């Protein structure tokens, strides 16, 4: 697929990286900063064009006329929307994805689409990150909580700890432990390596376990993996930027939220917009301030400022001062690897969270949702199967008969409103949503082919 | 050292195997003609493939993505080692020593076209085909070919592509994927070569000569199947066909691609380099023709124009085919032609030398300095063809020209010290480093490089490789930082 990415910021660069490493994609990146482009071109097999992203002349130089997908990721909402409009009006680009941050635009559904601005899909990285962090806070103990089928099914990543009833037991016994709920373990990572989850596999202390379950069953299953933690009540957020502010406004009704912001004017502005949150003006790495605000009895400390180094340091400090669980927003993948083995509980990577929503659009077949996991090495996706038993390689077959590529688990089937946890005898029907987990992203080609159905149907 | 060299050797092994496959062409020719060189080719192709395969298997553990320094090393290693491999069948079959075989193969691969062989018309056809095929492969670049057909090079592909592709600005790609770009360039190259071969056939050559000279013309190689080169045919049609295709080969192949994809010639008018190349060539051809008539070399203007045009275009574009022994012309004319060989070829073409774009950049920079003397506060970006050239590029061009010039001077002194006369030393080194072919004096168009001693031949081989890899890629091997951990 021919893809043009506008803007070589953090999100743009990550998108270029993830998209270009798939052989089928031809990626061109447009940005005004020539140095960033030169650096990017040294590391990725892509083309770069230097110039204004919303200029038709520059878009033409990047080959907009034959482009399949335009991804506008500059830091200006207006440039992104205008570029999509230009691409549609002048060149009829089939798919246009824009990063639109301001809720001012995104709240108004009629603004986009047929008679509005020609943006097919808008994504707001800040919104995605906020939702992600909010879900983590809602499920204490989880490393990752990802939605499928509009939240009916969730994929949860959790570190198993001794004390959970299932730890030390074979997976097969899960049904005996919790007869009322059903779940499927999709992947197990032990010391960084994936282990194929089978009935006889024994979960050990310290394993990173990914399981799929219906939303209402998640807490019960989590309880099997580690002792249940009390729900988070007291939350401290460092950084009153876009993400920190959104998170505070989402949590403030049910939790006791404190927000620390360094800039006094921003602090003032945030405090005007929020109702119940306690907004504090100060430095999140100031020990005195943290102690004064009872950091030792805080359930969650989330460092969400723009500076990842500051996030790491303040999160480490908060942990040492007694915060129960600390999270830090980190952009560099290498930092994330460094700190998750240290004192910080969860590293939040905005790029990995955002990239999934882009990947869903470049996948062949009817892929409705993609989540990138483990820094892009693994992937979880939701595929809709179409056709009938003749045209499709999966419809009408039971799961044990489907030839899944190596490292791929079919975890759940969503049929209408029902969530069916996949077992070997579950039969796939037309228009089912299948939730798949790939421990090795390199097999994505084989997976795409399997679920694409025959050409005649398309 | 082990960590740097072995991953490079792994990719080099692949290049060797690709190269072994190209040896099948002369091999088939030898079977067809039942000529005596067959055994040499069977042995060479077999040995190259087996060696490549062994190297590939033994270094498989060290496979990894190539970094910038690996790219440089791979390209330099390939260009130093391949002439030895390519020269093997020549050395095996012909009564020449290894030095001469290496020179001949390097001269082919670097598209220089100077030869140590005489009696070319009496060589087996398979040998001649191999010499011309080497030119053709080296023209667009054996590494660019590898990038085009080996899918797994990816980002590493960009690094080695840049190390081999001539010209100061190598970041512009025709397509997002480097492999795709390399394929397109090779397609344009192969297409033009095919057209040239058909035209030559219609102009009166037999198929074999047409193929060989088509390869020579598009690669700007300069090898011929006759000692008298194109003079052997004495045909205006053939000279016209070759002149046109040599000029095309001296333009940027990316421009050809653009022109072809837009189905029009506007791309050429937008290419500042192409305009300069054509301008310089037209003025030089007419000027030298007039000069030759004035000096009485040729009796009338049309004859003078015919000979001046073919030989000036051929030498200026660094091809090296010739119809006349132009070393007998008054010295101004051949010296002017050798000067042109330094500057005329475009970046992204198959020609050698400093390249027209660098000449333009330097001229504009000189002009900017002059203007700065008069208006010290003037702000003026350097533009070529309406496009601003970054200062970074200007500095790189300056450094390149300095190194190029110093390489020429140093190698000339080496030749002089070895006892060669001044005119031969000067012109042999310039002709070799520009990949032009014949020089003047002992190595003029009427003679060949066979008269040089072994030592002098090696110096010429080094000059050819330096010129083809545009100095930096080869010299970087001798910088300590490359080898440091």
Asked if residue A74 and residue A98 are part of one domain, the reply reads yes
How much is the mean pLDDT over chain A?
86
Q: What is the mean pLDDT of each run of 10 residues along chain B (485 residues)?
A: 78 89 92 87 93 91 78 87 92 90 94 89 91 92 78 64 69 76 90 95 93 94 90 93 95 89 86 92 95 92 94 93 91 93 90 90 92 89 84 88 94 95 94 91 87 93 92 85 74
| Closest-CA distance of chain A to residue B174, Å | 8
* Among A88, A104, A123, residue at a domain's last position: A123
pLDDT at B485: 63
Whether residues A9 and A113 share a domain: the answer is yes
Beta pairing, strands A95-99 & A69-72 = parallel
Task: Give the pLDDT confidence score for residue A392 in this predicted structure.
Answer: 78
The closest CB to that of B176, out of A34, A42, A46, belongs to A46
Which residue from A minimizes the CA distance to B390? A34
In a domain, A255, yes or no: yes
In chain A, what residues touch B176 (CB-CB under 8 Å)? 2, 20, 26-28, 45-47
Structure tokens at A439: 């421990």
The arithmetic mean of pLDDT across residues A46-59, rounded, is 90
CA distance A29 to chain B (A): 9
Q: How far is CA B430 from CA A163, B110, B332, B437, B441, in A?
A: 81, 14, 16, 9, 13
A343 and A358 share one domain: no
pLDDT tens track for A294-351: 888 899 999 999 888 899 999 999 999 988 889 999 887 778 777 766 788 888 888 8
Confidence bin at A196 (pLDDT 50/70/90):
confident
Token reading at A142: 């989880």
Residue B248 contacts residue B168 (beta carbons within 8 Å) = no
CA distance A288 to A286: 6
- CATH number of A111's domain: 3.40.50.720
pLDDT at B166: 72
Q: Given this model, what pLDDT does residue A152 score?
A: 87
Interface predicted TM-score (ipTM): 0.74
* Test mutation, A26, A35, A42, A45, chain B, max B CBs within 10 A: A45
Tell which residue, B318, B315, B296, B293, has the closest CA to residue B304: B293
Question: Across the interface, do B155 and A27 touch by the CB < 8 Å criterion?
Answer: no
* B154 touches A at CB < 8 Å: yes
| A45 vs B157, B171, B390: nearest CB | B157
Tell me if B157 and A44 make a contact (CB, 8 A cut-off).
no
Sequence length of chain A is 458
- Cα of B368 to nearest chain A Cα, Å: 24
Q: Is residue A312 located within the same domain as residue A282?
A: yes
B68 has a chain A CB within 8 A of its CB? yes
**A41 shares its domain with A154:** no
Please check whether residues A25 and A106 belong to one and the same domain.
yes
Residue A458 forms part of a structural domain: no
pTM: 0.82
Is residue A321 domain-shared with residue A368, that is, in the same domain?
Answer: no
According to the model, what pLDDT value does residue B426 have?
Answer: 94
- Is the Cβ pair B177, A45 closer than 8 Å? yes
Indicate whether A457 belongs to any domain: no
**Least trusted range by pLDDT, from A205-214, A438-447, B167-176, B468-477:** B167-176
* Tokens representing residue B153 in the block: 């090079």
Beta-carbon separation of B154 and A45 below 8 A: yes
Q: Flag whether A97 is in a domain.
A: yes
Cβ contacts (< 8 Å) between B68 and chain A: which residues? Answer: 42
Residues of chain A positioned with their CB less than 8 A from the CB of B171: 38, 41, 48
- Mean pLDDT value across residues A351-358: 82
Q: Decide if pLDDT at A456 tops 50.
A: no
Q: Compute, in degrees rounded to 10, the torsion defined by CA atoms B86, B90, B96, B97.
A: 30
Q: Is B117 left (phi over 0), alpha (psi -120 to 50) or beta?
A: beta
Residues 6+ apart with CB under 8 A from B443: B114, B424, B427, B428, B431, B449, B451, B452
A114 shares a domain with A10: yes
pLDDT of residue A455: 45
Is A164 a domain residue? yes
- Chain centre to alpha carbon of residue B105: 13
The burial class, CB within 10 Å (0-12 / 13-18 / 19+), for B2 is: exposed
CA-wise closest residue to A284 among A308, A309, A266, A310: A310
To the nearest whole Å, the CA of B17 is away from the closest chain A CA by: 24
Sequence-separated (6 or more) residues with CB below 8 Å from residue B26? B37, B41, B89, B126, B127, B129, B130, B133
Structure tokens that stand for B74 in this block = 């791979």
A430, part of any domain: yes
CA distance B468 to B76: 10
CA angle B153, B156, B157 (to 5 degrees): 60
Q: Considering the domain boundaries, does residue A397 fall inside one?
A: yes
Instruction: Give the CA dihedral B321, B324, B327, B331, nearest 10 degrees.
Output: -110
Number of other residues whose CB lies within 10 A of the CB of residue B343: 20
Specify the number of domains making up chain A.
4
The residues, any chain, with a CB within 8 Å of residue A95's CB and separated by 6 or more, are A68, A69, A70, A120, A121, A361
- Nearest CA to CA, how far is A322 from chain B (Å)? 43
Q: Which of B68, B158, B171 sits opposite A45 (nearest CB)?
A: B158
Does the pLDDT value for residue A198 go beyond 90? no
Q: What share of chain A in percent tops pLDDT 70?
A: 98
Q: Of A94, A123, A152, which marks where a domain is finished?
A: A123
Kindly determine whether residue A23 and residue B151, on different chains, have CB atoms separated by under 8 Å. Answer: yes
Domain that holds residue A404: 353-452
**Is the pLDDT reported for residue A284 higher than 80?**
yes
B396 at A interface, C-beta within 8 A = no
Under 8 Å CB-to-CB from A40, ≥6 apart: which residues? A8, A13, A16, A29, A46, A48
User: Is pLDDT at A458 greater than 50 in this prediction?
Assistant: no
Identify the weakest region by mean pLDDT among A166-175, A203-212, A393-402, B143-152.
B143-152
Q: Is residue A167, in this structure, part of any structural domain at all?
A: yes
Q: Are strands A121-123 and B382-384 parallel, antiparallel or unpaired?
A: unpaired
| Average pLDDT score over residue span A28-42 | 89
Final residue of a structural domain among A197, A225, A253: A225
Query: Do residues A208 and A269 share a domain?
Result: no
Q: Residue B158's closest chain A neighbor by CA?
A: A45
Among candidates A48, A57, A50, A86, which has minimal Cα distance to A70?
A86
DSSP for A316-366, written as a single string: HHHHHTT-SEEEEE---HHHHHHHHTTT-SEEE-HHHHHHHHHHHHHSSSS
Task: Give pLDDT, residue A379.
Answer: 87
Q: In angstroms, how far is CA A377 from the centroid of its own chain?
A: 13
The CATH number that applies at residue A440 is 3.30.70.1450
Is residue A444 located within the same domain as residue A358? yes
| Same domain (yes/no): A174, A243 | no
- Between chains, do B176 and A2 touch, taking CB under 8 Å as contact? yes
Same domain, A258 and A187: no
Say yes or no for a CB contact (<8 Å) between B68 and A42.
yes
């Amino acid at each position: 697929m021919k893809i043009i990415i506008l803007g070589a910021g953090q999100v743009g660069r990550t998108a270029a990286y993830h998209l270009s490493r798939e052989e089928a994609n031809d990626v061109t990146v447009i940005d005004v900063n020539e140095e960033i482009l030169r650096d990017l071109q040294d590391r990725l097999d892509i083309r770069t064009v230097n110039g204004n992203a919303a200029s038709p002349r520059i878009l033409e130089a990047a080959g907009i006329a034959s482009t399949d997908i335009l991804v506008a990721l500059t830091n200006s909402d207006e440039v992104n929307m205008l570029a999509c409009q230009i691409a549609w009006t002048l060149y009829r680009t089939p798919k246009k994805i824009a990063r639109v941050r301001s809720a001012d635009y995104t709240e108004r559904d009629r603004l986009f689409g047929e008679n509005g601005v020609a943006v097919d899909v808008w994504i707001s990285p800040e919104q995605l990150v906020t939702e992600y962090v909010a879900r983590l806070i809602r499920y204490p103990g989880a490393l990752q909580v990802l939605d499928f089928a509009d939240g009916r099914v969730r994929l949860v990543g959790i570190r198993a700890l001794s004390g959970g009833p299932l730890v030390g037991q074979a997976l097969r016994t899960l049904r005996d432990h919790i007869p009322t709920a059903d779940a499927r373990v999709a992947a197990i990572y032990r010391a960084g390596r994936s282990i194929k989850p089978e009935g006889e596999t024994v979960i050990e202390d310290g394993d990173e376990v990914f399981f799929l379950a219906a939303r209402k069953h998640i807490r019960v299953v989590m309880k099997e993996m580690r002792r249940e933690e009390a729900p988070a009540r007291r939350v401290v957020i460092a950084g009153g930027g876009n993400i920190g502010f959104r998170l505070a406004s989402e949590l403030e009704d049910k939790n006791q939220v404190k927000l620390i912001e360094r800039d006094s004017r921003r602090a003032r502005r945030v405090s005007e917009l929020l109702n119940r949150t306690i907004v504090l003006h100060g430095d999140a790495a100031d020990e005195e301030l943290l102690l004064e605000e009872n950091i030792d009895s805080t359930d969650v400390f989330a460092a969400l400022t723009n500076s990842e180094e500051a996030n790491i340091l303040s999160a480490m400090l908060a942990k040492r001062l007694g915060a129960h669980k600390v999270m830090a927003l980190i952009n560099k993948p290498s930092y994330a690897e460094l700190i998750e083995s240290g004192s910080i509980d969860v590293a939040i990577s905005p790029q990995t969270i955002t990239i999934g929503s882009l990947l869903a659009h470049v996948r062949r077949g009817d892929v409705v949702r993609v989540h990138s996991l483990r820094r892009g090495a693994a992937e979880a996706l939701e595929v809709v199967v179409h056709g009938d038993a003749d045209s499709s390689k999966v419809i009408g077959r039971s799961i044990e008969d489907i030839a899944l590529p190596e490292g791929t688990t079919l975890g759940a089937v969503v049929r209408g409103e029902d969530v069916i946890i996949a077992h070997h005898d579950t039969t796939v029907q037309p228009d089912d949503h299948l939730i798949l987990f790939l421990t090795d992203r390199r097999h994505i080609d084989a997976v795409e082919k399997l679920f694409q159905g025959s050409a005649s149907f398309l | 050292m082990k960590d740097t060299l072995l991953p490079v050797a792994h990719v080099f092994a692949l290049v060797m195997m690709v190269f072994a496959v190209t040896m099948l062409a002369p091999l088939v020719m030898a079977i067809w003609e039942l000529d005596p060189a067959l055994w040499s080719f069977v042995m060479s192709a077999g040995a190259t493939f087996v060696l490549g395969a062994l190297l590939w298997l033994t270094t498989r553990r060290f496979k990894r993505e190539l970094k910038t320094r690996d790219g440089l090393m791979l390209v330099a290693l390939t260009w130093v080692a391949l002439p030895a491999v390519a020269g093997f069948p020549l050395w095996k079959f012909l009564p020449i020593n290894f030095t001469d075989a290496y020179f001949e193969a390097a001269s082919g691969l670097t598209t220089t076209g100077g030869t140590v062989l005489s009696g070319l018309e009496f060589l087996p056809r398979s040998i001649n085909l191999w010499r011309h095929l080497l030119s053709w492969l080296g023209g667009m670049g054996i590494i660019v070919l590898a990038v085009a057909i080996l899918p797994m090079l990816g980002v590493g592909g960009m690094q080695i592509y840049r190390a081999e592709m001539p010209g100061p600005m190598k970041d512009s790609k025709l397509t997002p994927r480097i492999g795709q770009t390399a394929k397109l360039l090779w397609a344009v190259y192969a297409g033009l070569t095919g057209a040239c071969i058909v035209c030559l056939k219609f102009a009166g050559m037999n198929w074999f000569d047409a193929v060989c000279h088509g390869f020579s013309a598009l690669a700007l190689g300069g090898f011929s199947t006759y000692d008298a080169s194109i003079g052997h045919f004495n045909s205006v049609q053939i000279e016209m066909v070759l002149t046109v295709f040599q000029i095309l080969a001296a333009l940027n192949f990316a421009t050809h691609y653009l022109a072809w994809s837009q189905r029009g010639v506007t791309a050429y008018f937008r290419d500042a380099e192409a305009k300069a190349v054509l301008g310089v060539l037209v003025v030089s051809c007419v000027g030298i023709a007039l000069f030759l008539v004035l000096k009485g070399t040729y009796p009338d203007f049309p004859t003078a124009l015919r000979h001046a045009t073919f030989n000036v275009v051929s030498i200026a574009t660094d091809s090296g085919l010739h119809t006349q022994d132009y070393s007998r012309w008054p010295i101004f004319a051949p010296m002017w032609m050798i000067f042109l060989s330094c500057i005329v070829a475009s970046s992204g073409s198959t020609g050698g030398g400093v390249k027209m774009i660098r000449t333009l950049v330097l001229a504009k920079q000189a002009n900017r300095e002059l203007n700065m003397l008069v208006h010290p506060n003037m702000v003026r970006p350097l533009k070529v063809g309406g496009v601003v050239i970054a200062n970074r590029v200007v500095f790189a061009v300056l450094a390149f020209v300095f190194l190029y010039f110093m390489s020429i001077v140093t190698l000339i002194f080496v030749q002089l010290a070895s006892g060669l006369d001044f005119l031969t030393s000067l012109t042999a080194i310039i002709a070799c480093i520009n990949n032009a072919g014949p020089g003047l004096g002992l190595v003029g168009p009427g003679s060949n490089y066979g008269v040089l001693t072994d030592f002098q031949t090696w110096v010429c081989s080094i000059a050819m490789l330096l010129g083809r890899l545009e100095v930096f890629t080869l010299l970087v091997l001798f910088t300590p930082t490359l080898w440091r951990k």
